[in-house]
Amino acid sequence: MLIGITGTLGAGKGAVVDYLVAMKKFRHVSARHIWTEELESRQIPVNRDTMTKLANDLRAKHGPAYFVERALETVKNDEENVVVESIRTVAEAELLKSRGGVLLVVNADKEERYRRISGRNSALDKVSFAEFVRQEENEMTNEDPNKQNIAKVIEMADYTIENNSTLDALTKSVEEFLKQMTD
């Protein structure tokens, strides 16, 4: 099974990935990891703005589905269960689906998402609420196909999980998603 995850900042995409990896033995391919390695190799500070700029620049150079193309290069065979995090352009979503993948959205209320990211130990997430809102607005819509357009990607989803409760409730929602996708 090939799953692509998208969603809003701090919604719980990483928690879904952690569950799929630990409990369902999925292999995780992470955009953040790819972009972080590239920034570090260029000796550029790693933060959400530099990561977004790098991703957009690489998509402009290599095509709007660049990340998913790189991710799928690592998939050894159709038998392997892989979760790709995070799908951010329409072309990435289209490529994922053309390869038989399913697109999962994880979402939560804005205040809950900000509370979650504020509690992380990531330099990427040490921002004010106003900055959080600005970053999200920058990622939600864009007419340039090489730039993030999460709102359009969300519209393309096969399944949506609303994650406004406990981790236990989230894992139950993931199980429901997996059941629906395999029935």
Helices 129-140 and 110-118, packing angle to 10 deg: 120
**Beta-sheet strands, E only, within 12-158:** 27-30, 82-85, 102-107
Handedness of CA 62, 58, 68, 28 (dihedral sign): positive
- The residues near 168 (Cβ < 8 Å, ≥ 6 apart) are none
pLDDT digits (tens, 9 = 90+) for 101-145: 999 999 999 999 999 988 877 766 678 899 889 888 888 988 889
The first and second tokens of residue 62, run together, are: 């290599």
Domain ranges of the chain: 2-182
pLDDT digits (tens, 9 = 90+) for 16-67: 999 999 999 999 998 888 888 889 999 999 888 898 899 889 999 999 999 8
CATH number of 2-182: 3.40.50.300
Strand order in the sheet with 102-107: 27-30, 82-85, 2-7, 102-107, 159-162
